């Protein structure tokens, strides 16, 4: 148990380091407003976690600080100028409703950040999908002006992207503060997979599913451009790392996790292609919760069957193995 807790804390630390790196890039593009927004989400998450656990007569431990990573993910899916009150309400929803009511930290069935994003989309949809241009910095309490649609929205509606590959790689285009830094996201994916802090199977499955359909049924004339933009736009890469590949949610075995990610990648691409649904992958990741649960139940059945098989096996002094039934007959 102690070893498992230590591993969970290391995973949380790895996730936090990569998220803070994305937040630093967000500060570079959007100024202190994005940092304050992240702070509001993190502080609100800790307070909500503490109060909700007390109401459920549970003690608050260091392990419950994992709520801060969910809060940072939420902040990085927001525009830098998201209303603080709305951000706080959404974060409370993530901690209290999406996580603790549905079983808490040890029994999560879907990503709290993804569920919270859907809640924000239904309640503050217009504000959630309006962004400032990079390098236009809004004051901490200043009312935002000159808001624009995201590059993902323009791509979904017109099939065109008015940015160079270099700008796209560095995140110099409008969109959620943490989902546009493509170069950092690629580095984060490699680091987290190497550290086994995210599900490699789920990540590869999501990328493969999106890429395959982007080539087979391209959104633009060029298949190469369709592949590139389908991974960069609509928070696909960000969600593949921090939502779909969350080890708390994804199946443990990479084989099952691959198909879990594959289904999410394919369906979200189809929604973007047919409905021009912006950031569809976040919605699909929550809708596909039953599939993740199904794979996990299958994994448990396999593990139980294997354990029963081992328990029925008896080792003879000479090293030969016989089943429990054979052993009874021998006696």
Question: What are the structural domains, with CATH classification, of the chain?
Answer: 2-287 (1.10.3430)
Q: Are 98 and 110 in contact (CB under 8 A)?
A: yes
**Beta-bridge partners for 148:** 131
pLDDT for 320: 53
pLDDT for 308: 77
pLDDT tens-place values along the chain, 331 residues long:
667 777 888 999 999 999 999 999 999 999 999 999 999 999 999 999 999 999 988 888 888 899 999 999 999 999 999 999 999 999 999 999 999 998 888 788 899 999 999 999 999 999 999 999 999 999 999 999 999 999 999 999 999 999 999 999 999 999 999 999 999 999 999 999 999 999 999 999 999 999 999 999 999 989 999 999 999 999 999 999 999 999 999 998 999 999 999 999 999 999 999 999 999 999 999 998 888 888 878 877 887 777 777 777 655 455 555 544 444 444 3
DSSP 51-87: HHHHHTT----GGGGGHHHHHHHHHHHS-TT--HHHH
Measured between alpha carbons, how far is 45 from 70 in angstroms, rounded to an integer? 8
Measured between alpha carbons, how far is 86 from 116 in angstroms, rounded to an integer? 11
Measured between alpha carbons, how far is 298 from 43 in angstroms, rounded to an integer? 38
pLDDT for 289: 85
How many Cα neighbours within 13 Å face the side chain of 168? Answer: 18
Which pTM value belongs to this model? 0.90
């Amino acid at each position: 148990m102690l070893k498992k807790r230590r591993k969970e804390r290391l995973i949380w630390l790895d996730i936090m380091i990569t998220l803070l790196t994305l937040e630093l890039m967000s500060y570079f593009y959007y100024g202190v407003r994005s940092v304050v927004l992240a702070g509001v989400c993190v502080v609100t998450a800790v307070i909500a976690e503490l109060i909700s656990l007390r109401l459920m007569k549970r003690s608050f431990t260091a392990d419950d600080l994992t709520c801060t990573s969910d809060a940072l993910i939420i902040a990085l899916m927001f525009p830098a100028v998201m209303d603080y009150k709305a951000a706080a309400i959404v974060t409370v929803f993530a901690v209290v409703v999406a996580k603790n009511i549905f079983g808490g930290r040890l029994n999560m069935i879907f990503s709290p950040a993804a569920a919270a994003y859907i809640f924000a989309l239904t309640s503050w949809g217009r504000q959630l999908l309006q962004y400032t241009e990079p390098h236009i910095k809004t004051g901490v309490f200043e009312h935002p002006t000159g808001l624009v649609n995201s590059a993902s929205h323009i791509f979904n509606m017109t099939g065109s992207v008015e940015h160079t590959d270099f700008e796209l790689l560095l995140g110099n285009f409008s969109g959620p503060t943490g989902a546009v830094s493509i170069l950092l996201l690629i580095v984060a994916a490699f680091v987290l997979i190497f550290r086994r802090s995210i599900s490699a199977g789920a990540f590869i499955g999501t990328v493969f599913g999106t890429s395959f359909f982007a080539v087979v049924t391209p959104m633009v004339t060029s298949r190469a451009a369709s592949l590139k933009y389908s991974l960069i736009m609509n928070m696909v890469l960000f969600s593949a790392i921090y939502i779909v590949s969350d080890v708390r949610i994804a199946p443990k075995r990479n084989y099952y996790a691959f198909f879990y990610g594959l289904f999410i990648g394919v369906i979200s691409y189809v929604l973007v292609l047919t409905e021009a649904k912006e950031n569809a992958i976040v919605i699909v990741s929550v809708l596909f919760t039953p599939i993740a649960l199904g794979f996990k139940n299958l994994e448990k059945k396999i593990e139980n069957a294997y354990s029963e098989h081992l328990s029925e096996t008896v080792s003879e002094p000479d090293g030969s193995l016989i089943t429990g039934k054979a052993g009874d007959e021998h006696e």
